[in-house]
Structure 1
Amino acid sequence: MAARVRFSQERPGVTYVQSTSVGGTTPSLSTKPVSQLLADLLAKPMPTLVSEREYQVMDACTAASIGEENVLRELIKIKPYSLSAKNRAGWTPLLYGAYLGHQGICAFLISIGVMIDDCNSRGQTALMMAAACGNTNVVRLLLEKGASTDRCDKDERQALHYAASCSQNVVVDVLLGAGADPNAADVNGMSPLQEAAISGHELTVISILEKGGSAHQKNKRGEDAMALASDNPKVLQLIADHEKTASAAEAVEQPRGPYRAPQCLADLLEEMNLERFVDKFRQQNVDLHLFFDLNEKDFEEMRIPYGPKKRMLKVIERYRATGVINADTFDSIPPIASSSVAPSQLQQSTRALERDESSSSSELLRSLRFIRDTNEATKKLAIEALQSLHVDHNDKLRPLLTGIMHGVEQIAARAARHEL
């Protein structure tokens, strides 16, 4: 049986809110007196009065996102704190400027001192946002101003992960040149190479492989780059060709002539395939000898990425123990030739002479110890001098440098006496 609806024939009733009777008359549909209505309205809570100027100037995040540098320059006079403040999502004006590629905005914000590595609620920095969007000029600017390449978001993804997964090949090259780790793993064990391989970005795969990316590194599911690129024949061929070339280079053993020890730190870094850090060490006035006095804290202060830092520390540790450099590109290299005696030679000579203190070599033993102690004192003076270079006090710097020269002259005189 079909449902039926019955409509009434009567007119619908209308209910009105009637006003109070006036003078005993019948209530009418008239409204309240105007005075009473105004009183009721004024009794309601009123919104906070805001100056018209507040609505004439847009907020800093909006200005940065549309490239309005003039607005930012006006805001710094009115609300200087707003240029580094975060919105509800944790984004700062610098993040918006980097994300949308406004190099001038980013340069201005950095010049007034905003935090360059400040992140949003997901841990993403300006460098990550610029890398993901392929804003190469902004990436170069941020790196030049000290942005960290090894900073991680909440998923432990670095800027190189963002660039690799978004096929930003030019940015990948820039980041790798700045020392980004090609084998850094995120929370799932995914490396930038794996990100590029699974996305099918051929040029990015080539760039990362050439800069030391490992095709055999596996994620937490046990998958390497070839497994993730199993449905992409071109990427598989690129990885296979790279592996073949690397294997052929290792198989062919060219006869080595007499090893020529590195004459400077640039030579050593080049042999370690880390020549991209030459300028960074040069800026810190670190030469070949001071390099072997560096520790992990020194590398962190210079913002050396984790991977290269560990390689350098391993070389320094082995050199201190044996006097022999063992870099990744060669198995065994003789000690560095220099005007002073290598630590291993000092240790070997000292141990040999200590067995026979009464021998005629006791004077040589004392000389070797003197050289060792003076070298240590000279290095400390050199470090103090380097730290004082940023301070405009010539009277403080002059005696330090004088002490260094005096120590060097003493070493040279004692070494010449014994023909060391």
Structure 2
Amino acid sequence: MSSHPSLKFKLNKVRMPKNYSLLAQALVCRCRSGLRLALIIAFSAICCIATPAATAGAYDDYLVAVKFDDINVLRTLLKRGMDPNTVEKVRGESGMMIALRENSMKVFDALLTADGINIEAKSKNGDTALMIASFMGNLEAVNKLIAADAEINRPGWTPLHYAAAKGDPVIISVLLENYAYIDAASPNRTTPLMMAVRSGKTPAVKLLMEEGADITLKNDVGMTALDFAVDLELKEITGMLRAALKQQAK
């Protein structure tokens, strides 16, 4: 049976960028040349076995799968040899970091246990997966990363800074229970207590104070936690810090 002439014409006329995956081509053809051609290319994508795995378009498919928590596509890509540590190009974040930002927990779990995964990978600004999980208030991810021996104490910004910045007492407690250094200093000597004050969340500030955070420490411009509270007009927190300083002076 000969091929339909109009279909042959459309196949010849539709030009695809070389870096499009077969799935992406299918979507383009669906718009340009009708459902029949799209189905042909989509079927080819299903039947195709890529060698090596990281063929043109695999990178895009990986990022889409991570963002939308598509565990089936992710598993297929990993089986074909996709590096689980692949990063997006703008922020330099790994798939695991993106999964945490997007709350793609099925993908996160798969990447956490993937062969060769580096849970200490850093983005361009130095973020790690545990730092992002701490900032997002994702208790499940924080516990799983700690169980996988993710680094809690590190030079510069730490997961505790990020949890304090969000003012999350639950995550703060978990990190402290796992020996997070309570007075960790960022590159500009900002402490978790200062970050908690800036968040305006009284429970987080109270917790850090009760756990022994040093309220007298100053950052690079000479500001203390109390200075931040005063500048931000946080009356309750200001009162707590002043009372603590008064008690220390006795």
Q: Same fold (TM over 0.5)?
A: yes
Q: CA deviation at 1:246?
A: 6.4
Contact persistence 2:21–2:61 (CA under 8 A): no
Name the counterpart of 2:191. Answer: 191
For 1:246 and 1:103, the matched residues in 2 are separated by 45
Contact persistence 2:167–2:204 (CA under 8 A): yes
Letter in 2 for 1:229: A
The structure-2 alpha-carbon separation of the partners of 1:101 and 1:177, relative to structure 1 and needing over 3 Å to count, comes to farther
Range moving further from structure 2, 206-215 or 72-81: 72-81
Name the counterpart of 1:59. Answer: 61
Letter in 1 for 2:85: S
Contact persistence 1:84–1:92 (CA under 8 A): yes
> Could you give the per-residue CA deviations for residues 99-119 of structure 1, whole angstroms, max 9, x where no partner exists?
233333222212113101101
Give the length in aligned residue pairs. Answer: 202
Name the counterpart of 1:110. Answer: 112
Name the counterpart of 1:166. Answer: 166
User: Does residue 1:149 correspond to 2:119, yes or no?
Assistant: no
Q: CA deviation at 1:50?
A: 6.3
Where 2:87 maps in the other structure, the secondary structure is coil
For 1:70 and 1:175, the matched residues in 2 are separated by 33
Q: How does 1:140-289 map to 2 (within 5 A)?
A: 140-152=143-155, 156-230=156-230, 231-243=233-245
For 1:199 and 1:185, the matched residues in 2 are separated by 17
Contact persistence 1:95–1:126 (CA under 8 A): yes
The structure-2 alpha-carbon separation of the partners of 1:80 and 1:166, relative to structure 1 and needing over 3 Å to count, comes to same
Name the counterpart of 1:95. Answer: 97
Contact persistence 1:99–1:126 (CA under 8 A): no
Compute the RMSD of aligned alpha carbons: 2.7
For 2:200 and 2:158, the matched residues in 1 are separated by 19
For 1:195 and 1:237, the matched residues in 2 are separated by 17
The structure-2 alpha-carbon separation of the partners of 1:100 and 1:210, relative to structure 1 and needing over 3 Å to count, comes to farther
Instruction: List gaps (5 residues or longer) in structure 2.
Output: 1-12, 26-44, 46-57
Q: Which has the larger radius of gyration?
A: 1
Where 2:76 maps in the other structure, the secondary structure is helix
Higher relative contact order (CA 8 A, sep 6+): 2
Where 2:213 maps in the other structure, the secondary structure is coil
Q: TM-score, normalised by structure 1?
A: 0.44
Letter in 2 for 1:168: D
Where 1:96 maps in the other structure, the secondary structure is helix
The structure-2 alpha-carbon separation of the partners of 1:232 and 1:75, relative to structure 1 and needing over 3 Å to count, comes to same
Percent identical among aligned pairs is 26
Q: CA deviation at 1:227?
A: 1.4
Instruction: List gaps (5 residues or longer) in structure 1.
Output: 1-41, 249-420
